[in-house]
Amino acid sequence: MLNRITASAKDAGRDGADVTLVAVSKQQPDEKIDAMLATGQRVFGENRVQEAQGRWEGRRVGVELRLIGPLQSNKVREAVALFDVIETVDREKLARALAEDIARSGRTPRLYVQVNTGEEPQKAGIAPAEADGFIALCRDLGLTIEGLMCIPPEAEPAGPHFTLLGGIAARNGLSKLSMGMSADFETAVRFGATSVRVGSALFGGRG
């Protein structure tokens, strides 16, 4: 996996060390997580707060945990307590709840704004046309946004979506791009991803 990331980066004239592999451990059995930890992998992605709490209790030392699934405002307190990175900030109510809990707890998870680049109604994320305004709002609330995240539509080539995300990031002064999954992480690296979220290609299918 890391070899493929390094090779794609090299193709694009990039350094593979600038791309973080996020191992998406959702719905995977504990044995596979422990085997992955034994390889030295330390960055993991989860899409549900409660599932992650159970799985990572007792396994957290030295591990960076990223929330890559939708976050409900009523789960903000637990998410801020658990995750090092929250990649799915996508609406005002959530941004306000995060700002409040960060001030209350003193914890400062790194934050990404999720953009719904395909404008799919069933998908989370801020619409591309609203992204600039939303990023500005987050900053007004005192939130530090580290980068942007997207999940392109399954049935379309991902490249244009990665380009769109990169453009929004560039004009808002953001350098981090979380994009690319099992099917398209090599493309994502060529289009500038600084982290790729890989589940099934790393662990095998989910149970």
Ligand X SMILES: *Cc1c(COP(=O)(O)O)cnc(C)c1O
- Taking CB under 6 A as the binding criterion, the range among 9-17, 56-64, 135-143, 194-202 that sits at the site for ligand X is 194-202
**Contact pattern for ligand X over residues 16 through 55, marking x by CB under 6 A:** --------x-x--------------------x--------
Say if strands 176-178 and 145-150 run parallel, antiparallel, or are unpaired. Answer: parallel
- Taking CB under 6 A as the binding criterion, the range among 7-15, 28-36, 130-138, 198-206 that sits at the site for ligand X is 198-206
Residue with smaller CB distance to ligand X, 166 or 199: 199
- Taking CB under 6 A as the binding criterion, the range among 32-40, 105-113, 169-177, 191-199 that sits at the site for ligand X is 191-199
Cα torsion angle, 94, 21, 205, 187, sign = positive
Query: 3-state class of 22 per DSSP?
Result: strand
- Taking CB under 6 A as the binding criterion, the range among 3-11, 35-43, 90-98, 192-200 that sits at the site for ligand X is 192-200
The answer to whether 197 touches 180, Cβ cutoff 8 Å, is yes
Exactly one of 95, 150, 181, 189 binds ligand X (CB under 6 A); that residue is 181
Which residues, other chains included, contact 18 with Cβ-Cβ below 8 Å and sequence gap of 6+?
9, 194
How many residues contact ligand X, by CB under 6 A? 13
The answer to whether 196 touches 16, Cβ cutoff 8 Å, is no
Rounded Cα–Cα distance for residues 35 and 203 (Å): 10
Rounded Cα–Cα distance for residues 31 and 71 (Å): 27
Which residues contact ligand X by CB under 6 A? 24, 26, 47, 68-69, 151, 181-182, 197-201
